[in-house]
Amino acid sequence: MTTATESVELTRVGPGTVMGKLMREYWIPALMSSEVERGGAPVRLMLLGEKLIAVRDDAGRVGVMDHRCPHRGASLFLGRNEDGGIRCIYHGWKFDVSGRCLDMPNVSPQQDFKHKVGAKAYRAVERAGIVWVYMGARAEAPPLPGFEILDVPDGEVGALFIQRDCNYLQALEGDIDTSHFGFLHAGHVEADELEKNDPIYHTVAIRAPEYHIADTDWGTSYAGHRAAGPGRTSWRFGNFMFPFWTQVPNGEFSQHVQVRGWVPLDDEHTMYCVLWWKRGLSAMNQSDPAYKDGALIGGMGRRNDFLPNTTDWLGRWRLAANASNDWRMDRAAQRDGTIYSGIESIHLQDQAVTESMGPILDHTFEHLAPSDQMITRTRRRLLMAARALRDKGLPPPGAENVEVFRDARGGYFVADAGSGWQDTYAKELAGAARPARGVLQAAK
Ligand code: FES
Ligand SMILES: [Fe+2]
């Protein structure tokens, strides 16, 4: 069980918190490159409880900085993006994207101290259509994480952001809680309605899978396994990767190059950020699941209806179905068995249950079951790493040695029974499609 103290340590991410410090050891996906227009208006951005702006200058360089002007604190969100920097509209001070003060026009040349003052700017790089930001204290930023997906050419990477209105931990834990699939998402589907080779066949044939779980160099891993006919086993592998990433089994293992980030915007809001290989066999690339007679399975659509983005701190990538309209729940569909949950899509079903827990779940309220071992283990791994950083200054997994992420993969497959789960994983990975090993982008 998770104590009240552990719950607070795990869920709070602001500056100075235990988990906030851990998160700041890593590069964080902040926004889509397309959200910041060259020479255009700044974007309000909340990350780890800090109010920031992102802006692209007229030379195309992206900056992510504290929104407050270091003169008297007016918001640089209001600023003028002009000629190589952002100019505060209050007294005209101007900063480049690295925070350097370029101009202090309300002060006489003799008293000008622009060389002594700077806006607080974080290091930012662009990769896979995303602006990544490093909010840590190291003089030299680490490389980007060594994910396989970042070996893929940018043009072959799909990226999607969706805001979730709850703490990052309960959102993330939906991804490593594999036994919910046969209920929340597929409770209305029977195995005999599906083709035998359908990816979800085994998950509904046996709804209480057995598990293997272990700590790994990148975080934690699990394998859900079920008997799949004589001498065969159905495997579903998934991972947690430091500090807020997952890989889920919703794709053919041999081609499933994907990561899912649960980026804390603040303690009560999270940005889901998924990156996937468009050429691989992932749920993101496949048509909507169907029964063997060809009819679409209810509640498994992949469409997301977004509200228009606004300039608010928390106004980006919000879904139209949300707590205010009960996630557009259809009680008739729930009752007649068309959709077990009554909620329209897999993502929205996950969104509804985790948001319904409230902004931050009271973890002392839970009654964790044997099916929750992956959750318990992942919390422990996060806590231990955050405390080791706080108490001994030990860098957390993958913060320096970013290569630990390279062999992490999630996905499903059926294999001959009899081998150990980790051997089975290694063998499947050895035969899997892998994007060419590229050179990691050097951090500035
Ligand atoms: S507050 Fe920004 S220039 Fe004065
Ligand atoms: Fe789910």
What confidence tens digit (pLDDT) does each residue in 94-133 have? 999 999 999 999 999 999 899 999 999 999 999 999 999 9
pLDDT at 355: 98
Ligand number nearest CA of 173 is: 2
Q: Is the pLDDT of residue 169 over 50?
A: yes
**Is 107 a pocket residue for ligand 1 (Cβ < 6 Å)?**
no
Which residue's CA is minimally distant from atom 3 of ligand 1? 91
pLDDT at 436: 64
Q: Is the pLDDT of residue 56 over 50?
A: yes
Confidence of residue 443 (pLDDT cuts 50, 70, 90): very low
Ligand number nearest CA of 92 is: 1
Confidence of residue 442 (pLDDT cuts 50, 70, 90): very low
pTM: 0.95
**Is 72 a pocket residue for ligand 1 (Cβ < 6 Å)?**
yes
User: Which two structure tokens, joined as six digits, stand for 384?
Assistant: 């231990």
**Is 77 a pocket residue for ligand 1 (Cβ < 6 Å)?**
no
**Is 71 a pocket residue for ligand 1 (Cβ < 6 Å)?**
yes
pLDDT at 287: 78
Q: How far is the CA of 119 from the centre of ligand 2 (A)?
A: 41
State the average pLDDT over residues 429-436.
84
Residues with CB under 5 A from ligand 2 (ion): 350
**Is 274 a pocket residue for ligand 1 (Cβ < 6 Å)?**
no
State the average pLDDT over residues 166-187.
94
The predicted-structure confidence for 6-50, as pLDDT tens digits, reads as follows 999 999 999 999 999 999 999 999 999 999 999 999 999 999 999
The predicted-structure confidence for 246-268, as pLDDT tens digits, reads as follows 999 988 999 999 999 999 999 99
Q: How far is the CA of 114 from the centre of ligand 1 (A)?
A: 12
Q: How far is the CA of 34 from the centre of ligand 1 (A)?
A: 28
The predicted-structure confidence for 136-147, as pLDDT tens digits, reads as follows 999 999 999 999
Pick the range with the lowest mean pLDDT from 27-41, 186-200, 208-222, 331-345. Answer: 186-200
Ligand number nearest CA of 246 is: 2
Q: Is the pLDDT of residue 318 over 80?
A: yes
Which residue's CA is minimally distant from atom 4 of ligand 1? 91
pLDDT at 58: 96
Confidence of residue 196 (pLDDT cuts 50, 70, 90): confident
**In this prediction, what percent of the chain has a pLDDT beyond 70?**
97
Confidence of residue 302 (pLDDT cuts 50, 70, 90): confident
pLDDT at 437: 53
**Is 91 a pocket residue for ligand 1 (Cβ < 6 Å)?**
yes
